[in-house]
Structure 1
Amino acid sequence: MGDPILALDKAQLTLAGNAGPVEILRGITLTVERGETVGLVGPSGSGKSSLLMLMGGLERATGGQVRALGQDLGAMGEDALARFRRGNMGVVFQSFHLIPTMTALENVAVPLELAGAKDAFARAEAELVAVGLGKRLDHYPAQMSGGEQQRVALARAAVPRPAILLADEPTGNLDGVNGAAIMDLLFGLRDMHGATLVLVTHAPELAARCDRIVRLVDGRVSA
């Protein structure tokens, strides 16, 4: 099977709070294999989103180790980490994080332009067509529905062909119909690009589509 694509060894996350340090994650040991789809579930405040942020190098572990594609994320400087993320990871959030002054096409092209791709706009257009937005290329986020904005965010995450897709409650701000459509697209992108998918969700029907479910309770993986 080879080395896991994600490996956490006793990973901890402690953040400063008004009343002193707050333990968010308390020694998480977990591996994710290439091509696997893992659902992170658990009550609010259990540390699911924080764990996803550690996996994506968006938060730094304050103890233990986080490795992605064999690289120790904790040993990288901020610039190296940003480059690594850009080349290997796509992240989809509950709130869409689109740039309001850019069209759908420009938003999706951003990661490719940052990477110096010459065909950024052609690839961005193809990805938007793949998520059903071929007629919305020149629309700005404010001109699109929530479901359409999340499709743009999905296209932006998928267009660099990342090895790892991370999704944090990607249907949390959407109604049932749009949420189901976004999930179908997310799993479709995973299949099309052969990506490993880790997603945080409260939705049982979504968790049921994953290869494996990891449950968090109070900052620890629950047996």
Structure 2
Amino acid sequence: MHDATLSLQGNAGLVQILHGITLDVHRGETCGLVGPSGSGKSSLLMLMGGLEQATSGQVIALNHDLTAMNEDQLARLRRDHFGVVFQSFHLIPTMTALENVATPLELAGHADAHARATQELDAVGLSARADHYPSQLSGGEQQRVALARAAAPRPGIILADEPTGNLDTTTGASIIELLFGLRDRHNSTLVLVTHDPELADRCDRVITLRDGRIEKTA
């Protein structure tokens, strides 16, 4: 991304969220985004995935110029090439774990959607819970379903926004192991937002943001 900015309209007028961000993340790299609350970490992650459109500048991902794409094009790109994991699990409550993982694949036209979903649930240790609904699963199990859903497209890029934020320490540690295992299994680029110093230390590179700007890279 080059000189990317993000401004959003708030109740008090236009709010500048990100200021002239220039950042290269290399294929296969694991990059941590850290900084105080309100520093722009999640907004930067959203720009990287085309979930927010840059106000100015350019965002390139997988040889696609996200700033030149419309919403439908961005949605197809994310569906086919991105895995996104949020702090809140965003599972569909009326669907089983298997259906939650399989549905995006079915929408993408994959004939082996259920077989692939079953494989990914097994990879996160949830094959025995495939027919359970989110309300029947613990927080850690729901996040594992979300990881399986993110892994199912065999993504080139995985974006994770505080993936352990709603979990206890032990459960969070197991989720992190699964997340890094997912990255290794699909040879994906991983960009994650975290407040956890131990998780940040596992990244190849750590980007510190403050007030919508990159403060340092380590």
- The bucket for the TM-score relative to the shorter chain is over 0.9
Give me the whole-angstrom Cα distance separating, in 2, the residues matched to 1:49 and 1:199.
9
Give me the whole-angstrom Cα distance separating, in 1, the residues matched to 2:193 and 2:167.
15
Within-5 A mapping of 1:1-223: 8-223=1-216
Alpha-carbon offset, residue 192 of structure 1: 0.8
Give me the whole-angstrom Cα distance separating, in 2, the residues matched to 1:13 and 1:79.
20
The SS at the match of 2:80 is helix
RMSD over aligned Cα atoms: 0.5
Alpha-carbon offset, residue 117 of structure 1: 0.5
Unaligned runs of 5+ in 1: 1-7
Question: Which residue in 2 is equivalent to 1:3?
Answer: none
The SS at the match of 1:31 is coil
Give me the whole-angstrom Cα distance separating, in 1, the residues matched to 2:110 and 2:57.
35
Alpha-carbon offset, residue 19 of structure 1: 1.3
The SS at the match of 1:32 is coil
Alpha-carbon offset, residue 134 of structure 1: 0.9
- CA deviation string 1:67-102 (max 9, x = no partner): 101111011111111111111101000000000000
- CA deviation string 1:148-202 (max 9, x = no partner): 0000000000011000000000000000011000000000010111000000000
Normalized against structure 2, the TM-score is what? 0.98
- CA deviation string 1:110-135 (max 9, x = no partner): 11101101110011001000000010
Give me the whole-angstrom Cα distance separating, in 1, the residues matched to 2:72 and 2:13.
30
> Partner amino acid for 1:205?
E
Give me the whole-angstrom Cα distance separating, in 1, the residues matched to 2:76 and 2:123.
26
- The number of residue pairs the alignment matches comes to 216
Runs of 4+ in 1 over 2 A off after TM superposition: none
Give me the whole-angstrom Cα distance separating, in 1, the residues matched to 2:58 and 2:179.
28
